[in-house]
Structure 1
Amino acid sequence: MKTKTHSVLTILILISYWSIAQTNSIIDSLKQQLLIETSSVKKCSIYNNLVRNYIHNSPKLSLQYNDSLSALSMKIKHEELHLLSMYNYSVVYRVLGDTPQALSILMDYKKAVEKKKDTGNLIPTYYQIGVSHMALDNKVKAVDYLLKSLELSELTNAKDRALINLNALGAIYDQMGQYEKALSYYKKVEASYLETGNLHDLGLIYNNIGIAYKNLDSLNLALNYFQKGYDISKDGNDLTVKSFQLRNIGLIKQSEQKYNEAEQNFIEALNIRKDIGEQLPLCGSYYDLGNLYLQLKNTEKAKFNLEKSLQISRNIKSANNEALSLIALSQVYEKLGNINKAYEFYKMGKVLNDSLQNNDLKEKVNKLDKQYQTVKKDKELAKQELEIKEKEVQIQKKRTQINYMIGVAGFLLVSSILLWFLLKQRQKRKNQEILALKREHQVKTLESLIEGEEKERLRLAKELHDGVNGDLSAIKYKLTSLLELNNNVIKEAISMIDDSCTQVRAISHNLVPPTLESFNLIEATDAFCQNMDELSEPKITFQFLGDTINLDKKVEVNIYRIIQELVNNSLKHANSTEINVQISFHNTQIQITVEDNGQGYNTTNSNVTGIGLKNIQSRIDYLKAEKDVVSNKNGTSYTIEIDINKLNED
């Protein structure tokens, strides 16, 4: 039962409304489309596709692209696209392990969809709500929403959606121990996927069939299905499915006492899940390793992995997984000879497990009461509740007696742990202070270099403006006095001096832009782009999205210099006809994008790293920002992400 619970709950999250396998070629293609697309609605569609392609292998990037979708849809006042971003948020938060947040968003989204009577979107919405309740161990609510989704799927002849719901219902029967019935649901789904050639979801359903056979002790059949699912995931480079199959093959190896092979499978699955970042599967992997090491009597490794499992299960509010981790940890402490700790963990796990069972029982009885409305059921319900309360009173009395008996011993143990913890914390604070001093020194050094560069720019600008520009003006004045001679050569010289004055003024303003001193970053960048557009051949445009930005002048100067350097690089080397500059601000994230449609360059070639790019990188380091560069024959795109919270840390 311990193994089964982790497997079924996790695989359900994957079989959802999204069944898009991520490939680098798809993502690269979408990013290229984003560079050249001008329609806001089509850009929203591309953002949505990037959200879905990143969802399982990089959910944090998926969340960032959905922020862009949400901001742009609100800007153009497109209600349907904004609702789509809400739905995306619910899925991403669930993948990141924050199921309560996902469920809260889904319930708001459901109200909007029901109000619009949008049956097509209600089907996946009911399904996602059902799966979220299942992840939170609310089985009755989960079944209720899954049946609603299934009913609408059948009414609208949405076969793919119906199959997804059938699989979820089969998983619930699996959890309740009705493995044969669960297997009958899985087989129907398998037959349909084999007929349509849907390999991605076929690999997932093979996982569930294997789990059912394992629970029926048909280990050879289970291993066969796990291996088939693994082969599909390996051929399709589907890391999520691959991690599940590796994990379940490891469980079979563990039951066959092939512990070395099982350990290798579990560790490989764990590493994949760390890269992906999905919290519920990661919790399962730590539990598997802890359980294996417990069986091998390696108590230290067992304790480490089970504590990781417990921490994650509490973070994502998975009570079922928390109960399993607590009970397993009680066995670890028993082997370590710490009987008090062992009892404490067993007690917490047992109470939590009993609580889950009682909640389910009450919800099921309430559901039956609504269906049949009979006096007999009312009496049975009251009798059951009375028996449960009497048992709870007896258990509470025993708990009080036991707690009193172990109180003194517990006090001494807690005091010792507290003393050790305080000493550890003191050392940790010292280490943090040393690290903070080192970081402060690095920041001050970088800040001094940048300030020195800005002062030198100011000096050069003043010399150009006050010195060279003044001399040119004086020469022009003297030559003008000779114009009475009507000499064409003198006229041409005066014209050349006018051009030189214009260029000197432009260079001076470029070194120290007056708009940046008098106004904010957005106005200065807009003025810079307009000025460069007038002076250069490529079309240069600027766009700002999001909320108003209030930044320190040093930060504004560094961002401005980055944009200035990137635009100048494009003008010098790209041979482009268009250069687009964009600044967006949402929540605490500032995103700067500079794109052109020029010839691109090889980003892996070390020869392209010049002084300009080094200056850009030093300013990015100063701002504690992240950089992403995409460059090919269709152009170059620089994207820089700045977190305001990181800027405020110092």
Structure 2
Amino acid sequence: MCSHLHLPRSRGFQTLILLLAFPSILFSQTTERDSLLARLQEQARDTNNVKTMYSLVRYYEKSNLDSAVYYLEKLRKLSTELSYEKGQVLYHERMAVVAFTNGDHQKALRESELGLGIARKLKETGSEIAMLNMLAICNQYLGKYEDELNYVLQAQAKAEQAGDKEKMVQLYHSLCNAYSDLGQSRKAIDAALTGLRLRDLYQTKAPYFNRLYSSLAQEYQHIGVIDSADHFYKKAITASKEINDVFAEGMIYKFVTNFYSGLGKYEKMRGMAEKSLALAKELKSRKMEASAYYSLAAANYYTNNNQQARRFLDQSLGIAIEDSIRDELLNGYRLLSYITAREGDYPASAKSQGIADSLQQAGLNEEVAKSAADLEKKYETEKKENQIKLQTVSIRQKNFLNYILMGGVAAILVIALLAYRNHRNKQKLQQQRISELETERQLLSTQSLLKGQEDERSRLAKDLHDGLGGLLSGVKLQLGAMKGNLILSEENGRSFNLALTKLDESISEMRRVAHNMMPEALLNMGLQQALQDYCDGLSESLPSPIHTEFHGLEERMEPSIEIVLYRIVQELLNNVIKHAQATIIVAQVIRQNNLISITVEDNGKGFAVKAMEEFRTAGIRNIQSRVNYLHGQLDIQSTPGKGTSVHIECLIEYNEQQQG
């Protein structure tokens, strides 16, 4: 009787735990989830809403797959309504991950192929890399290791071409798995160590290196370098706890359980199995739970505790039978045969051994059948391709003479067509040039008008502040001096004090008007401070403050651009306060490189957008003219009774070049 059970090397799980981290975004805190849910409720049904749903899916796919699928379906539906193809890519990307986690590898493969097709159509390099990586993972689980390596190398080439250092580092983990599956442990270790070296070189922040440590530990274990394997397993567990990656932590405990089993350290094996079981119950992963019970049974068997071994094995087999988990059934019945043999129940031992042998043979038969089906499919494909080639040659021969006869006629028609198209193209180019000149004329006119308005505002603001403001302040001082030299009755004294108070209010109002016409903070402190001051000033007269979010505005832009952006936000907020009757107002200005994004939202009474298209107010026309000045796009979404969302995007690099 075998004195030591065989615990198989778990290459496949290396990729499973990597897959949940690619691309690397980790949402593990409840506060983060609550923040995303709140944002989802507040946002309009637009592309930003789709992105928030995507973030929720990334959060839930590590802890609650049902919730992940729920938000994936909502994401798909909204993306279809908006004709937002990037949203379709995101749907296929995460649905592939969820299907894979549920064990449906064929569905994961189909979703990945669909996502890759759309990503290539949209030239979305990041999504294309993610889909290639997912295809590598699917082919790994289908046993097509050469295809796995091919997809990883394609993804790595794309990442290098795009200069995406983050994904370049991540893909070394995928490369490690691919070499591991092909039995090339040395190359797998080199790939993993290269990934760690590049992580330090590029100073990447992604929290997926617990998986890379685990893969590296398994490869060292495979080649018998025990100290290195133990070192990297411990680093993998520590890193998983630091980032609260519960799924990865549970899988790593399983690997370490097998590791200690091979070393004969059964008490440590038992401790790891208990931790794996606790996390399996927390994650509600029945497969992981069955594996943990099996490991506990094996640890007790090794330490001659048959009673405990039988108790844990019964629980493992119960789950494996109910869920048809073949690996745990095979291992469980094999262990049961050893336990019953030790107890002297040789008929039961033989029966369990027979079941285990049958399961193993069934697995081998399936692999043989699958290989035969693949070969048959390949043969049929080659046969059909040869038939198509023969038919193509025959058709070409038959049509050759027809082509010659038709060639002359076609040449004449082509010449006539080219002459006609040339004439039409000239007309189109002339018309296009006329349209461009007209557009340039309108733009120059708008630029001149806006510049004149801002210059006049600046002049008036300066005159009010320096001229009228100084004059009124002088009058106030003179009146104050007179008051000390006059003997007034009580009634006249009150009137005199009231006049001084009104004079103070007039000076404050004059300064407020001058500040609104040309805020000093905009000139001296920049756009972000000016917008914050303006919103804080408005909030003082509102029942609740304006919620602001300004990012990326620290770097100064052309003064004319900052003024136009300030006026746009000012006009949008004035419209909300005058017309919306809102209790919640959100103002957001974000700069990412050369892209400026402005969003102003409220929960007010809203309006019919179609009616606005027919009758535009002066405020809307002012906003549109400034957006046109920035060569931007204006999007207004509103429904009566449900609030309004205004979103503006423009490229400041283009405008700065125009200013130059």
Per the normalisation by structure 1, the TM-score is 0.50
CA distance 1:252–1:20, shift in 2 (3 Å): same
2:317 to 300, 307, 328: 307
Aligned position for 2:50:
44
CA distance 1:135–1:37, shift in 2 (3 Å): same
CA distance 1:173–1:86, shift in 2 (3 Å): closer
1:137 to 133, 136, 143: 143
Deviation at 1:216, TM superposition (A): 2.3
Deviation at 1:62, TM superposition (A): 1.7
CA distance in 2, matches of 1:154, 1:259: 45
SS of the counterpart of 1:198?
coil
Q: Which amino acid aligns with 1:345?
A: A
Aligned position for 1:26:
32
CA distance in 2, matches of 1:227, 1:73: 43
2:241 to 224, 234, 243: 234
CA distance in 1, matches of 2:139, 2:264: 36
CA distance in 2, matches of 1:365, 1:186: 37
SS of the counterpart of 1:20?
coil
Q: Provide, for residues 453-484 of structure 1, a one-character-per-residue CA deviation record: whole Å limited to 9, x for no partner.
A: xxxxxxxxxxxxxxxxxxxxxxxxxxxxxxxx
Aligned position for 1:382:
none
Q: Which amino acid aligns with 1:304?
A: D
SS of the counterpart of 2:208?
helix
Within-5 A mapping of 1:551-590: 577=583
CA distance 1:344–1:99, shift in 2 (3 Å): same
Gaps of 5+ in 1: 371-536, 539-575, 579-595, 598-650
CA distance in 2, matches of 1:362, 1:162: 36
Aligned position for 2:174:
168
Deviation at 1:288, TM superposition (A): 3.2
Aligned position for 1:475:
none
CA distance in 2, matches of 1:166, 1:13: 13
CA distance 1:199–1:138, shift in 2 (3 Å): same
Report if aligned partners of 1:323, 1:350 keep a CA contact under 8 Å in 2. Answer: no
CA distance 1:199–1:157, shift in 2 (3 Å): closer
1:106 aligns with 2:112: yes
Report if aligned partners of 1:193, 1:201 keep a CA contact under 8 Å in 2. Answer: no
2:295 to 288, 293, 310: 288
SS of the counterpart of 1:75?
helix
SS of the counterpart of 1:200?
coil
Gaps of 5+ in 2: 1-5, 382-542, 545-581, 585-601, 604-660
Aligned position for 1:344:
355
CA distance 1:357–1:275, shift in 2 (3 Å): farther
Deviation at 1:184, TM superposition (A): 1.1
Q: How many residue pairs align between the two structures?
A: 375
Aligned position for 1:5:
10
Q: Which amino acid aligns with 2:272?
A: N
2:282 to 275, 278, 287: 275
Report if aligned partners of 2:149, 2:175 keep a CA contact under 8 Å in 1. Answer: yes
Report if aligned partners of 1:194, 1:202 keep a CA contact under 8 Å in 2. Answer: no
Q: Provide, for residues 268-296 of structure 1, a one-character-per-residue CA deviation record: whole Å limited to 9, x for no partner.
A: 22221332245665565355334434434
Aligned position for 2:222:
215
1:84 aligns with 2:90: yes
CA distance 1:365–1:64, shift in 2 (3 Å): closer
1:266 aligns with 2:273: yes
2:156 to 150, 158, 164: 150
Q: Provide, for residues 290-316 of structure 1, a one-character-per-residue CA deviation record: whole Å limited to 9, x for no partner.
A: 44344345352453354257458846x
Report if aligned partners of 1:170, 1:182 keep a CA contact under 8 Å in 2. Answer: yes
Deviation at 1:47, TM superposition (A): 1.0
CA distance 1:79–1:236, shift in 2 (3 Å): closer
1:251 to 221, 245, 258: 258
SS of the counterpart of 1:57?
coil
Percentage of matched positions with identical amino acids: 16
SS of the counterpart of 2:207?
helix
CA RMSD of aligned residues (A): 4.0
Deviation at 1:107, TM superposition (A): 2.7
CA distance 1:101–1:222, shift in 2 (3 Å): same
Deviation at 1:206, TM superposition (A): 0.9
Q: Which amino acid aligns with 1:300?
A: R
CA distance 1:262–1:183, shift in 2 (3 Å): same
Q: Which amino acid aligns with 2:137?
A: V
Q: Provide, for residues 160-200 of structure 1, a one-character-per-residue CA deviation record: whole Å limited to 9, x for no partner.
A: 33333332232233344432222111111122233425362
Q: Which amino acid aligns with 1:230?
A: I
Aligned position for 1:399:
none
CA distance in 2, matches of 1:136, 1:331: 32
SS of the counterpart of 2:163?
coil
Deviation at 1:48, TM superposition (A): 1.0
CA distance 1:288–1:341, shift in 2 (3 Å): closer
Report if aligned partners of 2:24, 2:207 keep a CA contact under 8 Å in 1. Answer: no
Q: Provide, for residues 411-433 of structure 1, a one-character-per-residue CA deviation record: whole Å limited to 9, x for no partner.
A: xxxxxxxxxxxxxxxxxxxxxxx
Q: Provide, for residues 115-135 of structure 1, a one-character-per-residue CA deviation record: whole Å limited to 9, x for no partner.
A: 445443222112112102222
User: 1 or 2 for the larger relative contact order (CA 8 Å, sep ≥6)?
Assistant: 1
CA distance in 2, matches of 1:293, 1:136: 34
Q: Which amino acid aligns with 1:8?
A: Q
Within-5 A mapping of 1:200-599: 200-278=207-285, 281-282=288-289, 284-296=291-303, 298=306, 299-301=309-311, 303-304=313-314, 306-307=316-317, 310-311=320-321, 314=324, 331=338, 337=346, 338=348, 339-353=350-364, 356=367, 577=583
When Rg is computed on C-alpha atoms for both structures, the one with the higher figure is: 2
Deviation at 1:230, TM superposition (A): 1.8
Q: Provide, for residues 299-349 of structure 1, a one-character-per-residue CA deviation record: whole Å limited to 9, x for no partner.
A: 52453354257458846xxx7777666655665666653213412321321
Q: Provide, for residues 566-625 of structure 1, a one-character-per-residue CA deviation record: whole Å limited to 9, x for no partner.
A: xxxxxxxxxx958xxxxxxxxxxxxxxxxx99xxxxxxxxxxxxxxxxxxxxxxxxxxxx
Report if aligned partners of 2:313, 2:332 keep a CA contact under 8 Å in 1. Answer: no
Q: Which amino acid aligns with 1:5?
A: S
CA distance in 2, matches of 1:356, 1:223: 34
Q: Which amino acid aligns with 1:242?
A: E
Report if aligned partners of 1:44, 1:72 keep a CA contact under 8 Å in 2. Answer: yes
CA distance in 1, matches of 2:152, 2:368: 20
Q: Which amino acid aligns with 1:307?
A: L
Q: Provide, for residues 202-252 of structure 1, a one-character-per-residue CA deviation record: whole Å limited to 9, x for no partner.
A: 221111111112222222222221112222222232222322343344334
Per the normalisation by structure 2, the TM-score is 0.49
